[in-house]
Amino acid sequence: MKNNRKNTLYICGTDEYGTATETKAYQDFKELYDKDVRQACKAVCDKYHALHKEVYQWFQISTDHFGRTSTQHQDDVVHEIFNDLDKRGMWLEKDVDQLFSPKLDKFLADRFVEGTCPKPECAYEDARGDQCDKCGGLLNAIDLVNPRCKFTGCTPEIRTSRHLFINLPKIESDLKLWLNEVTSEWSNNAKQIFDSWIKKGLEPRCMTRDLKWGVKVPKDGYDHKVFYVWFDAPIGYPSITAEYTPKWRDWWLAKDGQEVKYYQFMGKDNVPFHSVLFPSYLLGTGKPWNLVNVINATEYLNYENGKFSKSRGVGVFGNQASETNIPADVWRFYLIYMRPEVQDTEFQWTDFQMKNNSELLNNLGNFVNRGLSFVVKFYDGKVPSAEINGNMRAWVAEVNELLKQYIECMENNHQREGLRRVLAISKLGNKLIQTWQPWVKVKSKDPALRNEASACVMLSANLVFLLSSLLEPFMPMTSFEIARQVGVARAQIPAKFGAFLEKDHKIYESRPLFRKIEDDEIKEYRARFAGKSDK
């Protein structure tokens, strides 16, 4: 979108509140946790915010602003939305039976509890108190079979605590009306997950927790409680925007004559929170909040015939990718190439190697190198000008058809298919060179054959220039390097292929873009990221 000169805002950040943070603070900063829970949690968040930011920067993920939710902006926007809901009678008070640890002398947050999933068809023994990772069901900790405290291993007691519930049934009709207006552009899995929630009917949902770390509830009698992480976390999007610009409301609240189209990208396990809960909070305020127009959710990326697991050390994660000898752009390429847009996909090291060596090195890199090196070698570095014949015009038509498909893919959020169109265009470049063999015809005494050589090199150089723009969303550093070798700034993506480079445009050098990944490297990486062996 930025490449097409659209006014865009790309925000991201770390979601820092909730039980996961308190759990990590207890584990990593136990001494500080015993003295001051909030300071221990802040230490965790500072550490991992910096780590996440470093990883995203290494991957060249160029947000307009990378923020966090443990800020005053977050407190302010959360409180504003809470108070607006409160004024419209959207909160219910209920006494709730909860699990309490006598040993720790505290109520146990959902993630502080593990046990057997209460759904008979699942019965997963290590379900968390808020969600079962096996069946994906959202749970209440008290419903777990044989619950145990994650910290002490002891069996908790049941005690009562008063909480605030958002009255989702009161908002449900507005949510359904909104649904009919927007979901045509959602990924199919997002639609299906939303529909399944609506068909079951919405129920009031608890939005407060007995924790120390979180946005405090601004209501009498609830001073000792904080908001449930999935109430405050999505509100991080507007609050991080507020951290970035004082004009944040221009993006988030509808104004006459100003259209904002709002996209979200996520794994499918986060769809309920973004398709049902977050829009419900905003609709419930009665204010003209801009709600999400496009939810683009992926299926799961698996690892080497199994699943990624941080706890077991199985799989390569973002901070570890930078420790390999593989550039960020190659990682970006493969992860997008294998993006699970419609079904689960598999990360395989041997496939990673093959895709690098075939698609990047032999296809894309080979074409760019040859397309530019012919200009340098045979035309003194000056892009030639020549008449193209009927067969070449047919080739241009093929490029334009793929370019049209690329634009459609990107506008419809099919990034994986968009990347594959780029590779197909590169293959057309290689086909052009092999068909017309400019290294032979440039030496001919026949003017017609020399013209064919010049036309082929001219088309090739211009196709290289086009590829630099098309690659930017996927491989920004490669895109930049191609543009540098061509000697131009990256340009707006055109609707059609043409003579972008002027006659005699100077190209000074052509360098290889990629290297071969060897078998020994793959063997090393597979062993390094195979996980901890059982002994």
Domains in the chain, please, with CATH? Answer: 91-206 (2.170.220.10), 328-486 (1.10.730.10)
d(CA 251, CA 256): 12
* 104-107 long-range Cβ contacts below 8 angstroms, 24+ apart: 104/149, 104/151, 104/152, 106/210, 107/159, 107/161, 107/210
CA distances (Å), origin 84, targets 71, 80, 221: 20, 6, 18
SS3 216: strand
DSSP-derived secondary structure letter, 518: P
Helices (H) and strands (E) in the chain, counts: 21, 15
**Per-residue burial over 395-413, b = 16 or more CB atoms within 10 Å of its CB, e = otherwise:** bbeebbebbebbbebbeeb
Largest pairwise CA distance in the chain: 95
Tokens of 67: 């923020």
Per-residue pLDDT of the chain in tens (535 residues, 90 and over written 9): 566 667 899 999 999 998 889 889 988 999 999 899 999 999 999 999 999 999 999 999 999 999 999 999 999 999 999 999 999 999 999 999 999 999 888 888 887 899 999 999 999 999 988 889 889 888 889 999 999 998 889 999 999 999 999 999 999 999 999 988 888 899 999 999 999 999 999 999 999 999 999 999 999 999 999 999 999 999 999 999 999 999 999 999 998 778 999 999 999 999 999 999 999 999 999 999 999 999 999 999 999 999 998 878 999 999 999 999 999 999 999 999 999 999 999 999 999 999 999 999 999 999 999 999 999 999 999 999 999 999 999 999 999 999 999 999 999 999 999 999 999 999 999 999 999 999 999 999 999 999 999 999 999 999 999 999 999 999 999 999 999 999 998 888 999 999 999 999 999 889 999 999 999 999 999 999 998 754 4
Phi, psi of 27 (to 5 degrees): -75, -40
Tokens of 125: 């023994």
d(CA 283, CA 178): 9
CA distances (Å), origin 115, targets 22, 106, 133, 146: 19, 18, 12, 6
Reported in sequence order, the residue ranges of 328-406 that DSSP labels E, i.e. its strands, are 345-347
Contacts of 263 (CB under 8 A, 6+ apart): 292, 293, 294, 296, 413
Q: Is the pTM of this model over 0.85?
A: yes
